Amino acid sequence: MLKLLKQFGGSCEIQNQRGDLPIHEAIQAHAKDCVEYLLALHPSSINVSNYEGRTGLHLAAASGNMEMVILLCTRNAIINPLMLYRDTLLTPLDLAMQKNHEMIVEYLHLRQDAKLAEELSEEIKKQTKSSLKHRIIAVQNGKPKSALSSNITQIANESGKLAISNIENNIKMESVSEETQTAMQIYRIAATNTSVCSLHASFILKQNA
């Protein structure tokens, strides 16, 4: 389904209200094939964070998905990215420890030399916390600063409209699966301040989870 969207003009680089990309949705859904496909399209997306600094490795570590953690680490994911949650900085190792995912803790610590947030330098933590707070405030004030887009709403709308137009103009509706038709409906009703591609990806991945 992601390949179909890409073929007909859909974008997989648009962030939603939280700043998440489709790859984040795929990681949360434990959809390894989708993650590998998205990384093949945009390798740098592996380290893109949402507005709170949460990366794909944070998500994989928190969910206890060892296979996904290994996949991301072997694809050059940053091992100690910092996210901000309730005014507390957290690395993927912090999250794995909080969730009692012992195998992931062992893998990150012993194989990847991962660190807890408290082990990182005060300067790095201070700079990161300040940057994330400014980013979060900007989003709350209605000025999202996407890592990949300066105007999320406009691009999301254009991407969605283009995908619908291309699909409807090039594929006979009777030959389109029910799942694809549902996805097209999602495009039509998606809120303007949410990534159309992310909404679709989330829906499809949850259906297949």
Can you give the CATH number for the domain in which 135 is found? 1.25.40.20
Residues in the chain: 209
Domain housing 202: 178-208
Work out how many domains the chain is built from and give that number.
Answer: 3
Q: Domain check: are 125 and 148 in the same one?
A: no
Residue 64 confidence (pLDDT): 97
Cβ atoms within 10 Å of 161's Cβ, excluding its own: 14
Q: Domain check: are 118 and 153 in the same one?
A: no
Q: Which residues contact 95 (CB under 8 A, 6 or more apart)?
A: 58, 61, 62
Write down the pTM of the prediction. 0.67
Q: Domain check: are 137 and 168 in the same one?
A: no
Sorting pLDDT into bands at 50, 70 and 90, what band is 208? very low
Q: Domain check: are 106 and 150 in the same one?
A: no
Residue 26 confidence (pLDDT): 93
Sorting pLDDT into bands at 50, 70 and 90, what band is 143? low
Q: Domain check: are 151 and 87 in the same one?
A: no
Sorting pLDDT into bands at 50, 70 and 90, what band is 60? very high
Q: Domain check: are 195 and 151 in the same one?
A: no
Q: Domain check: are 165 and 188 in the same one?
A: no
Sorting pLDDT into bands at 50, 70 and 90, what band is 84? very high
